[in-house]
Amino acid sequence: MGASGISIDGGDAETLTPGGSRAVNNLVHDWSEVVMTYQGGIRLGGTGNLAAHNELYNSPHTAIFFGGNNNVYEYNLIYNVCMETDDAGAMYGGGSLWNSRGTVIRENVIYNLGGKKRAPCGIYLDDGLSGVTVERNLLINVPGASLAIGGGRDLEIHGNVVVNGTMDYDGRSRDGAIDPGSGWAHQYGPDGHMWPALAASPWQTDVWRVAFPKLAALSADFADIEEPRFAANPAGSSVTGNVFIGPDSSRIAQSVLRFSEIGPNDQYSMWAGRKYWALPGFEAIEIEKVGRTGGTP
């Protein structure tokens, strides 16, 4: 393919009526041969749609772009992507507090990313993306951050296994809100574009208040930026029960440690990593279900 592979929308964002569209059991490879960035082997948007049991490989940029609400991405096998790009992710979404609420990313296997000294990420929640669940994914040999979180909040990140990789969770949203000199002030500062976009979203409608109560409770009051509910604070996230096998080089911003629950997570050297399955409460990743099945799940 010269550009993208499969692109799906559907459903109604205002009412959160699901589209029910499915991208299932597809083999997608060697796309983006002409338009080399921001195409995606699969792009899933809309509301209430599914991308499952797909196999994606050989691309200069991202395998799966995710957005929209209440969409599910599960049992996908992704490798040899982001081969010619940095600041990218095998699975990538970004840009708001609200437009990916209810997204679930689970039981995917991602490995061997990047080429030519590039350092892309694995699962990348960029630019304040919030309200997403990332659970029980296996990421191997990711040269950038395997789990990359760009200042978002209200995230549930649990039970992921990272081999030879790291987690980065920065505080860019709060930095931009409190520091006029920050490179993120244009997005999160008092005159930043996030705030009018939030006001124009359905976040305070009855349907959304019921579906996403954490979103409905947010504050946009710059007079109280120490309040955890202040929308730019990286608050309300829970990052626990993840296993990292290899050198300990993850980076967590102090503002994230202040406003969210980080840990316990487990770190092992490479030789001891095989013992992770014995951790109390650890839920095994269903590796045998990942990738194409030949049937309908």
Q: Where are the domains of the chain?
A: 6-289
* Structure confidence at residue 283 (pLDDT): 80
- Cα–Cα nearest to 172, from 197, 198, 150: 150
CB atoms within 10 A of CB 70: 21
Phi, psi of 177 (to 5 degrees): -75, -35
- List alpha helices for the chain, DSSP H: 172-178, 185-188, 194-200, 206-211, 213-216, 254-259
| The two structure tokens encoding residue 183 | 């490179």
Residues 6+ apart with CB under 8 A from 12: 47
DSSP 71-93: -EEES-EEES-STT-SS-EEEEE
How crowded is the C-beta side of 77, counted as CA atoms within 13 Å? 16
- pLDDT at residue 200 in the model: 94
Sequence-distant (≥ 6) Cβ neighbours of residue 191 within 8 angstroms: none
Contact, 188 vs 172, CB < 8 A?
yes
Q: What is the pLDDT of residue 297?
A: 47
- Dist. CA 289–CA 74, nearest whole Å: 10
Please tell me the predicted confidence (pLDDT) of residue 285: 87
pLDDT in tens, the chain (297 residues): 899 999 999 999 999 999 999 999 999 999 999 999 999 999 999 999 999 999 999 999 999 999 999 999 999 999 999 999 999 999 999 988 999 999 999 999 999 999 888 999 999 999 999 999 999 999 999 999 999 999 999 999 999 999 999 999 999 999 999 999 999 999 999 999 999 999 999 999 999 999 999 999 999 999 999 999 999 999 999 999 999 998 888 999 999 999 999 999 988 877 655 555 556 667 888 989 999 986 554
Which one, of 83, 33, 77, 87, lies nearest residue 54 by Cα? 77
Strands 11-12 and 17-18: antiparallel
**Angstrom distance (rounded) from CA 160 to CA 153:** 18
**pTM, entire model:** 0.95
* Separation between Cα atoms, residue 247 and residue 252, nearest integer Å: 15
Q: Structure tokens of 4?
A: 């993208």
Q: Region of 47 please: left (phi>0), alpha (psi -120 to 50) or beta.
A: beta
* Structure-token pair, residue 137: 């994914």
Q: In this structure, are residues 103 and 93 in contact, taking their beta carbons and an 8 Å threshold?
A: yes
